């Protein structure tokens, strides 16, 4: 799969050339190569946004992640669903902002 197609699937938008160049350098892979030093999910309230149109991490897998947190880690998870692809902070900015503000007030 080409970079342009991957970019579109992940971010749901066609970005200008300067943005595409910067996106080539963004990678969170290092966060998956080391052992976690702090399990924050055990100490703080958790809200999880399931992106119903995600083509990278399908909604069924997202729900399995929530189930693991609930059943194996024993934490409560406040689940929200949104008609969005993988990056709602880019494609559904206002909706994500409203959700965050509401969660902060609660």
Give the domain ranges of the chain: 3-105
What's the angle, vertex CA 86, arms to CA 32 and CA 37, rounded to 5? 25
- Average pLDDT of the residues in 88-92: 87
Phi, psi of 62 (to 5 degrees): -60, -40
Q: What was the pLDDT predicted at 99?
A: 96
Q: By C-alpha distance, which of 52, 48, 65, 63 is closest to 12?
A: 52
Question: Locate tokens 């309230």: which residue?
Answer: 45
Q: Is the pTM of this model over 0.95?
A: no
Give the mean pLDDT of the chain.
Answer: 80
Least-confidence region, from 26-40, 53-67, 76-90: 26-40
3-class DSSP state for residue 81? strand
């Amino acid at each position: 799969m080409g970079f342009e197609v991957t970019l579109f699937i992940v971010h749901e938008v066609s970005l200008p050339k300067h943005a595409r160049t910067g996106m080539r350098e963004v990678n969170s892979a290092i966060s998956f190569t080391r052992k976690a030093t702090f399990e924050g999910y055990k100490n703080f309230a958790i809200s999880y946004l399931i992106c119903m149109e995600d083509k990278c991490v399908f909604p069924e897998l997202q729900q399995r992640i929530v189930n693991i947190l609930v059943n194996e880690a024993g934490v409560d998870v406040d689940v929200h669903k949104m008609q969005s692809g993988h990056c709602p902070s880019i494609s559904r900015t206002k909706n994500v902002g409203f959700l965050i503000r509401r969660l902060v007030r609660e």
